[in-house]
Amino acid sequence: MTMDPSLEDLRRYAVARSLFTPTTLPAAIRRLGFVQADPIRAPARAQDLTLRHRVKDYRAGDLESRYARLAIDEDCLVNYGFLPREHLVLMHPRQARKAWSAETRRKAADVLDFVRARGAVHPREVDQHFAHGRVKNYWGGSSNASTQLLDDMHYRGLLRVKRRDSGTRVYEAVAHPPAEDGPAASARRAQALVDLVVRKYAPLPAASLTYLARLLGYGAPQLAAPIQAALRRAREQLASCRIDGTVWYWPADENPRSRRYAFDERLRLLAPFDPVVWDRRRFTLFWDWTYKFEAYTPPARRQFGYYALPMLWQGRVIGWANLPARDGRVEPAFGYVAGAAPRGAAFRGALDEELQRMVQFLAAR
């Protein structure tokens, strides 16, 4: 009889399967399935901080500089990020929940003609040509109406990001192939999307699996009902167990108790959106403390800091680090769950090595 895994087994499995042996950039993105993006650099963007642990000799900015030569796209899944191009067919043509007005459709058609004529456009060019003015943005401030329209056109699949210039998206026109019609085809796409997020974030508490299925409505709002049906099937087909009242799910072809899943001695400072720590519910169950991303929290109310990087060592997240970079130098500040750093040369050596890797990662090629 196969024994159910313990919480320690699941913790080891979660860490080891996500922090796989570093490989090439395309292979790492394929294996992850999706890399969440965030524009804050403290000391680097989240996508770079995620990839540095999984790509050989990765440097900050490599993804942006190589993007145009890779078969990947910036797009939405459960949030915004980078994913292999073959996944786009699961979500496009995307049908946004909010329909455009006739006026917006007219503007979008004019902009699309402009982009096709130019081949690729910077938002500044669109704004200069059309003078759409300014609008209230998603965060309550104001932004160029042209920039927001380009974002909406990208979301709806009329445009794709061709490259970035100094971090700004440069767009080109794109035509996604028509989706196969019928309930069976929608069910297949929905099941593939649920499988994709399970492969990325497993093992998952039941509530987190439900949450991820709901977030897939961002990437594929037109598949909301099929995704819920796929979720019900997944609960029946995935491997599972119950530990202390929490039901856990993971791919049926993987064994969390396998010896292949083992902790190593390397200390890692992880991005706030790294797959190992992304699921805050799982984080608390695994490490018995609550981590919060506080970049948008007023400074006086921050407990961890502006952009705290969880510190993983020997299979446990034991604290966090803030690494502001000034004049090309990283000035680390640390916090520990136990109140103080672990004693001994092993920890000091592991931390020094990670900081040296961080300096190398931040250095320009």
CA neighbor of 306 nearest in space, from 325, 285, 289? 325
Average pLDDT value for residue range 170-190: 93
Q: Number of helices and strands (H, E) in the chain?
A: 12, 16
Average confidence (pLDDT) over 230-250:
98
How do residues 121-130 score in pLDDT, each as one tens digit? 999 999 988 8
Closest C-alpha among 124, 177, 113 to residue 147: 124
Tokens of 138: 């998603």
Count other Cβ atoms within 10 Å, centred on residue 306.
15
Domains of the chain: 23-86 (no CATH), 102-173 (1.10.10), 268-362 (no CATH)
Closest CA to 224 of 93, 100, 91, 99: 91
Nearest-angstrom CA–CA distance, 75 and 5: 35
| CA dist., res. 83 & res. 178, Å (int) | 20
pLDDT at residue 3, as a whole number: 87
Residues 357, 52: Cα–Cα separation, whole Å: 9
Task: Report residue 2's pLDDT band, with 50, 70 and 90 as the boundaries.
Answer: low
Q: So what's the pLDDT on residue 142?
A: 43
Mean pLDDT of 41-45: 94
DSSP assigned state of 203: S
> What is the per-residue pLDDT across 78-122, written as a single tens digit (0 to 9) for each?
999 999 999 999 999 999 999 999 999 999 999 999 999 999 999
Residue labelled with tokens 């402009």: 114
In this prediction, residue 329 has a pLDDT band, given cuts at 50, 70 and 90, of: confident
List 251's β-bridge partners, or say none: none
Cis peptide before 342 (omega within 30 of 0): no
Per-residue model confidence as pLDDT tens digits over 129-165 = 887 555 554 445 545 788 999 999 999 999 999 999 9
What's the rounded mean pLDDT across residues 281-302? Answer: 97
pLDDT band at 177; cut points 50, 70, 90: confident
The arithmetic mean of pLDDT across residues 64-80, rounded, is 96
C-alpha to C-alpha distance for 358 and 43, rounded to whole angstroms:
9
Residue 143: predicted pLDDT: 56
pLDDT of residue 139: 41
Using the predicted structure, report yes or no on whether residue 210 has a pLDDT greater than 70. yes
Mean per-residue pLDDT for 184-192?
97
- Determine the 3-state secondary structure of 111 from DSSP: helix
> What is the average per-residue pLDDT within 17-39?
97
pLDDT per residue over 47-65, tens digit each? 999 999 999 999 999 999 9
| Nearest to 29, CA basis, from 91, 82, 90 | 82
- Per-residue DSSP letters for 232-255? HHHHHHSEEEEETTEEEEE-TT--
Distance (Å, whole) CA 13 – CA 243: 15
pLDDT of res. 138: 47
Enumerate residues 6+ apart whose C-beta is below 8 A from 314.
Answer: 263, 265
Average pLDDT, the chain: 94
Answer whether residue 247 shows pLDDT above 90.
yes
Alpha carbon 269 to its chain's center: 16
Beta-sheet pairing, 325-326 with 316-322: unpaired
pLDDT at res. 73 = 97
* pLDDT on residue 136: 54
156 closest CA partner among 113, 98, 209: 98
Rg over CA atoms, the chain? 22
Q: Is 334 exposed, middle or buried (0-12, 13-18, 19+ CB in 10 A)?
A: middle
Burial of 175 (0-12, 13-18, 19+ CB in 10 A): exposed
In this predicted structure, what is the pLDDT of residue 180?
84
